[in-house]
């Protein structure tokens, strides 16, 4: 796959996020392709607003189906160390040369329905019991790769900060401008971790330093890198891609 090819200085993947930015201004407005024209004769093609609304409401229905299919006890398959993909493919909404280092005085902030709001240092996170997993990271684009992460189970972390575990959403804000959110049931899954190490080493900036979410029961874009703040909330938080039309639940 692409990860095995040598990358030229500028390639399509580098400019893809910018190309996308141009494409996704209005969600689904570009359905005016031949396929769209041929299949949408009954719809108002000048705005497509009715079609967009229908698709979005079906996606919300799909989210309910996915939540019903999800089991907090069903584990993602784990692999032996020999199965780990090397080199691991970098992916973000920006090219690799725009990766940001850890900001000075970085602390992991916690907010929302939690009783203990003291920010966390990386040392404090390392003091908590760690778990390791070798799991498949599946991108919404269809490619996948197997990686090895270890860190603090999110369930233990949420309990430690006195989070209201009945709140429906856990939201993640990152210092690179990214954001995402997940449902509480998935947040409490035993394989959902705040990863500190990748492949036996502390996370490098391109892999999400100093701490990232790793959630093998959801598509890759939910495993937010370069975390800045975690919020437990009752208000639907959305996210960077979700606000542009990626299906919110995105379970696998």
Q: How far is the CB of 1 from other proteins (least distance, A)?
A: 7
Residue 36 near other proteins by CB under 8 A: yes
Residue 23 near other proteins by CB under 8 A: yes
Residue 70 near other proteins by CB under 8 A: yes
Of 25 and 166, which CB lies nearer to other proteins in the complex structure?
25
Site for other proteins in 183-222 (CB under 8 A): 216-217
Cα distance between residue 110 and residue 118, in whole Å: 7
Residue 246 near other proteins by CB under 8 A: yes
Residue 28 near other proteins by CB under 8 A: yes
Could you tell me if 231 and 207 are in contact, meaning their C-beta atoms sit under 8 angstroms apart? Answer: no
The pairs formed by 65-74 with CB atoms below 8 angstroms and a separation of 24 or more are 66/249, 66/250, 66/251, 67/183, 67/185, 67/249, 67/251, 69/251, 70/183, 70/185, 70/186, 70/217, 70/251, 72/185, 72/188, 72/189, 72/190
Site for other proteins in 127-146 (CB under 8 A): 136, 138-144
Percentages of the chain per state (helix, strand, coil), in multiples of 5: 30, 25, 45
DSSP code string of 74-138 = PPPPB--GGG--SSPPP--SS-GGGPPPPPTT--BEEEESBS----B-HHHHHHS--EEEEEEEE
Q: How far is the CB of 151 from other proteins (least distance, A)?
A: 19
Residue 38 near other proteins by CB under 8 A: yes
Q: How far is the CB of 175 from other proteins (least distance, A)?
A: 24
Q: Which of 7, 15, 53, 54 binds other proteins (CB under 8 A)?
A: 54
Of 77 and 115, which CB lies nearer to other proteins in the complex structure?
77
Residue 156 near other proteins by CB under 8 A: no
Q: What does the binding site for other proteins look like in residue numbers (CB under 8 A)?
A: 1-2, 20, 23-24, 27-36, 38-39, 54-56, 58-59, 62, 66, 69-71, 74-77, 136, 138-144, 216-217, 241, 244-247, 251-252
């Amino acid at each position: 796959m692409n990860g095995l090819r040598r990358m030229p200085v500028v390639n399509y993947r580098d400019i893809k996020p910018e190309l996308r930015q141009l494409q996704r201004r209005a969600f689904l407005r570009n359905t005016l392709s031949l396929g769209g024209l041929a299949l949408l004769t009954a719809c108002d093609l000048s705005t497509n607003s009715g079609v967009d609304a229908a698709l979005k409401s079906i996606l919300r229905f799909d989210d309910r189906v996915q939540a019903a299919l999800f089991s907090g006890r069903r584990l993602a398959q784990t692999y032996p160390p020999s199965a780990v993909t090397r080199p691991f493919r970098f992916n973000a909404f920006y090219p690799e040369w725009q990766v940001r280092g850890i900001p000075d005085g970085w602390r992991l902030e916690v907010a929302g329905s939690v009783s203990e709001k003291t920010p966390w240092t990386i040392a404090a996170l390392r003091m908590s019991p760690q778990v390791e997993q070798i799991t498949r990271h599946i991108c919404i684009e269809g490619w996948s790769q197997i990686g090895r992460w270890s860190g603090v189970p999110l369930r233990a972390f949420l309990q430690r900060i006195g989070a209201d575990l009945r709140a429906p959403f856990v939201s993640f804000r990152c210092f690179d401008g990214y954001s995402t959110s997940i449902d509480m049931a998935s947040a409490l899954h035993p394989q959902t971790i705040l990863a500190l190490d990748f492949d036996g080493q502390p996370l490098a900036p391109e892999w999400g330093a100093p701490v990232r979410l790793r959630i093998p029961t959801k598509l890759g874009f939910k495993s937010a890198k370069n975390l800045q703040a975690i919020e437990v909330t009752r208000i639907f938080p959305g996210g960077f891609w979700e606000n542009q039309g990626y299906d919110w639940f995105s379970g696998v």
